[in-house]
Amino acid sequence: MNHIRTRIFAIIIAVLSWTFEAEARDVYVRLSNSGSYSIGITQGMLTMTDAEGRLANLGDSAQISASGGYVSIMGNTFLMPVRISGSGLLQFKGRTYRGAFLITQKGGLLNVLDVEQYLCGVLPAEVGANWHTQALRTQAICARTYVLKQSMNRADKGYDVVDTDADQVYKGAGVETAKTNQAVSSTAGEVLTYGKELAFTYFHSDSGGHTADISDVWGQNIPYLTGVPEVVNYKSPVSVWNAKISAAKIQSAVKKVTGSDIGTITEVQVSEVDDGGRAITMTFIGSNGSRSMKASQFRLAVDPRTLKSTMFTPSGGAFRVNNTTTPSGLVTQRKPQGSGNELTFEEEQGLAKMTSEGVFTSTELIDMLSNPDKRKKYYQTGLGRGGNKSSAPAKKPRSKYGYSIEKSGNDFIFYGRGWGHGVGMCQWGAMAMAEQGYTAEKILAHYYPGTSVRKIK
């Protein structure tokens, strides 16, 4: 037994001594993909450099047309890509931007700027500028990690992110505030990692009480993106909502996803839910047959702004999860569980395996070293995060929930809670945790179990 414990401690020391190495870099944000632009500058002059190194002064504003690999400006033609900069803030469609503009060979307009400057235009757009400092720090770390992770996967696109909620909302320099800028600077270079990789830090507005497992939404298997319950009571502007959707629109959405026209929709069923009550599978019954699909696919097909989430509630009433009835829009307080009992031989082996897999955060590893009597607790925590899969109990089969969405004439009435896909961090939940004294690091550890906050060198 002692040699296994020695192995665990050796692994912990090795993990703690590892540092994440990366370099801060510019971010390429796509503002538009059309070929005609009107740009300006708040002070000074616009300066342009094209692909051949030709320089041109454009004055304080310019009308630009891009097509066929060339840019036309004031009757002159320049070879793309074209970079435009100046001493003041750049202007486009009523917003101001730091950094430079880049017109790509495909004619898209990008804002190119340092990642930290970019984040200053993200935080006020994604969360309230008056939010708790720890919630803002949490968002800053998430947003920084997100854009750097996306940049690794989009080399073929020519940009890192778009400026909408298709990635994360970015509104430039005009929305910056002292408080959100401070949250960015106080976390400068900090990212979330899982093992030796940047984590996928997906986030959403309101989970409705329980976040989603990424496998149920997008079919991926990522250990730290499993569903977790909210731990603090909160209410958001979208805690409770309802949406009326016509049978014709639902019929069109079903055809869009499945390729089948099942005729006039007569019944919509929630046929499978997760442990938090979120719909996983829906069944649609029509005059010409029936089809089932993922609830997340249906939401996107029918309109994600109308159908705000897949956390549906039957007729707007209470929902039942794990034999506990919870009122719509409220989150039940959960208390941490764990035991300091001794581990069995098999559990000691499992803990060693999980430690080497990077299941635990640096703080947890230090705590484990300092308090060996907590090993049982950490073993159970690791199992819950998907570690040591060979000895972890198999997932319980999903239960068939089996309720129908309310029908009213030719419409169906959806009642629900929360807003967004449900994967990763819940912004309103993070705000509630911050108000209860949780730090950004602890908030991130809750929503992305098994990850660690590290600083880019």
DSSP string, 241-304: EEEEEEHHHHHHHHHHHHS----SEEEEEEEEE-TTS-EEEEEEEETTEEEEEEHHHHHHHH-T
Q: Residue 7 above 60 pLDDT?
A: no
Q: Residue 111 above 60 pLDDT?
A: yes
In 3-state terms, what secondary structure has residue 80? coil
pLDDT given at position 326: 37
pLDDT tier for residue 59 given thresholds of 50, 70 and 90: very high
pLDDT given at position 345: 54
pLDDT tier for residue 456 given thresholds of 50, 70 and 90: confident
Question: Any idea which residue has 């925590």 for tokens?
Answer: 381
d(CA 133, CA 434): 8
pLDDT tier for residue 208 given thresholds of 50, 70 and 90: very high
Residue bearing the bigger pLDDT, 370 or 216: 216
Residue type at 152 in one-letter notation: M
Average pLDDT over residues 432-457: 94
d(CA 393, CA 112): 48
Average pLDDT over residues 227-255: 95
Lowest mean pLDDT among 123-127, 224-228, 341-345: 341-345
pLDDT given at position 377: 77
pLDDT given at position 346: 59
pLDDT tier for residue 386 given thresholds of 50, 70 and 90: low
* Inter-residue contact 11 to 354 (CB < 8 Å): no
Other C-beta atoms lying within 10 Å of the C-beta of residue 79: 14
Widest CA span of the chain, in angstroms?
A: 80
pLDDT given at position 384: 66
In 3-state terms, what secondary structure has residue 211? coil
Average pLDDT over residues 222-244: 93
pLDDT given at position 338: 33
Lowest mean pLDDT among 21-30, 82-91, 186-195: 21-30
pLDDT tier for residue 22 given thresholds of 50, 70 and 90: very low
Q: Residue 336 above 50 pLDDT?
A: no
Q: What is the pTM of this model?
A: 0.77
pLDDT tier for residue 373 given thresholds of 50, 70 and 90: confident
d(CA 328, CA 169): 28
d(CA 264, CA 287): 5
Residue bearing the bigger pLDDT, 344 or 230: 230
Cα–Cα distances in Å, from 366 out to 362, 372, 449?
6, 10, 16
State the DSSP string of 401-442: --EEPEEETTEEEEEE--BS--BSEEHHHHHHHHHTT--HHH
Average pLDDT over residues 41-49: 96
Burial of 119 (0-12, 13-18, 19+ CB in 10 A): buried
Q: Which pairing describes strands 279-286 and 265-273: parallel, antiparallel, or unpaired?
A: antiparallel
Q: Residue 135 above 80 pLDDT?
A: yes
* Inter-residue contact 271 to 402 (CB < 8 Å): yes
Average pLDDT over residues 44-49: 95
d(CA 80, CA 62): 16
Q: How high is the mean pLDDT of the chain?
A: 85
Q: Which of 12-16, 22-26, 239-243 has the highest mean pLDDT?
A: 239-243
Helix orientation angle between 427-435 and 440-447, rounded to the nearest 10 degrees: 140
Cα–Cα distances in Å, from 416 out to 210, 305, 324, 356, 378?
13, 13, 18, 41, 35
b/e map of 24-52 (b: 16 or more CB within 10 Å)? Answer: eebbbbbbbeebebebbbeeeebbbbbee
Kindly report, residue by residue over 155-189, the tens digit of the pLDDT.
788 899 999 999 999 999 999 999 999 999 999 99
d(CA 263, CA 23): 55
* Inter-residue contact 102 to 82 (CB < 8 Å): yes
